[in-house]
Amino acid sequence: MNLGQAIIEALESVSSNKLRSALTILGIVIGVGAVIAMLAVGNGAQETITGSISGIGSNLLFVFRGNQTEELSHVEPLTLQDANALLDQFQAPSVDKVAPILSDNLQVSYGGEKTNPTVYGVTSSYEAVRNYSMSEGEFITDEQNLGRASVALIGVDVADKLFGRRDGLVGETIRIEGQPFRITGVLVSKGGGSFGSEDNVIMVPFSTAQARLMRRNRDSVDTIFVSVLKPELMKQASDEISQILRERHRTSIGADDFTVFSQDDFVATAKTITGVLTIFLGGIAGISLLVGGIGIMNIMLVSVTERTREIGLRKALGARKKDILIQFLTESSLLSLLGGIIGIGLGWLIAFIVGKIAVASGTPFNPVVGVDAILLATIFSTAVGLFFGIYPANRAANLQPVEALRYE
């Protein structure tokens, strides 16, 4: 028996028991669809998170207080003087711009509306370092910082909550912790990010935040953002920053009371987390594919029992053990392959629906159905059919012709 004949006979067998075959295929369809959908969600989450991290700024380093790997008895805070020291072109020639910030969640009100966005105290360099742009108005200037001006920039989420619109807001007055601030600009929407919504923010001059909103000791800052001249200088810039801060904080190597992160560090961490999540989701979905394979084995065993006399007749007419084995393996593989093909469509549909629901809920998210996921699910589903079809096929092939013909 050649492969073409085996496929034709398998199709005839499948079509002769349409309902049973459909129910058997359904288990594989659900399994393959679940695997593809879960992998698509995991890949989409990874792309969304890494994309939002990359969108924070270009060639960016983050300097935080404290050591992420060592527990220290004393940790010096990061200060405005530390940030200014990083601009020394002799000690840090790889550094382009430095933007220290203060941040806190504060109550903001306008009329009868209130909200609690993240309020940042920033300098004029923050605009370039973080790739911000204005839909109207202008960014915070050095003059406003020097004069501790009561001005504010607002994100579109805050504008929506307080005003119900995003245009014509320059000149309006809002209150931050009860203090009046005049709006001088509206930020262009950046969407959701790994650090929360990039649009649910308000920015005020650093000096104003320091003196009136977020009182800190010794000119301390919460984070220092550093932009590097070129991507290939990231490692060099990180070493230069570390050396400057070690000298200022009088710490030795290995006992740093600060941490320097790059975008690549955040991306690598995000990929590790989403990779584990994807594997976990795919494993759960794979269980349903395994259940579908058990269903195929069950149906094939029933089919062997029902067709015992047919098998005996074939053997009596000269069919070899190999022919019977190929016939039943082809049938189980065909059931699994059909289920896999339909499951691919189901998985894509589920991923599409998840994406639409995410967009409708205000969380831009695009599940990615990759070719690798399709190939993996198709190959795995066919392998499941072969694996779970081996025992029934072998049982059919080992039937003795005389006993099979006498079977009632």
Among 121, 134, 131, 102, residue whose Cα is nearest residue 227: 131
pLDDT value for 382:
73
Distance CA 301, CA 319 (A): 20
| Maximum CA extent, the chain | 104
Strand locations in 206-265 (E): 223-228, 258-262
Contact 260, 65 (CB under 8 A): no
Distance CA 209, CA 216 (A): 9
Structure tokens that stand for 88 in this block:
């020394």
Structure tokens that stand for 28 in this block:
């594989």
Q: The tokens 């969304």 sit on which residue? A: 48
Phi, psi of 194, rounded to the nearest 5 degrees: -70, -15
Contact 382, 337 (CB under 8 A): yes
**Under the phi-then-psi rule, with left for phi > 0, alpha for psi from -120 to 50, and beta for the rest, what region is 102?**
beta
Cβ burial of 272 (10 Å; 0-12, 13-18, 19+) is: exposed
Query: What are the start-end ranges of the H helices in 98-138?
Result: 126-129
- Please give the chain's pLDDT, 408 residues, in tens: 566 666 777 677 767 777 877 877 887 888 888 888 888 887 777 777 666 665 555 578 888 887 665 565 567 788 888 888 998 888 889 888 999 999 989 999 988 888 999 999 999 999 888 888 899 999 999 999 999 999 999 999 999 999 988 888 999 999 998 899 999 999 988 765 444 567 889 999 999 998 888 877 777 888 899 988 887 888 888 889 888 888 888 877 667 778 888 777 766 777 777 777 777 777 777 777 777 777 777 777 777 766 666 666 666 667 677 777 777 777 777 877 888 888 888 888 888 888 888 777 766 677 877 777 777 777 777 777 777 777 666 766 676 665 655 555
pLDDT value for 194:
43
Which run of H or E residues covers position 96? Answer: strand 95-105
- 138 CA to centre of own chain: 33
Contact 12, 303 (CB under 8 A): no
3-state secondary structure of 374: helix
Distant-in-sequence, close-in-space partners of 161: CB < 8 Å, separation ≥ 6: 113, 115
Distance CA 119, CA 202 (A): 5
Strands 113-115 and 151-154, sheet pairing: unpaired
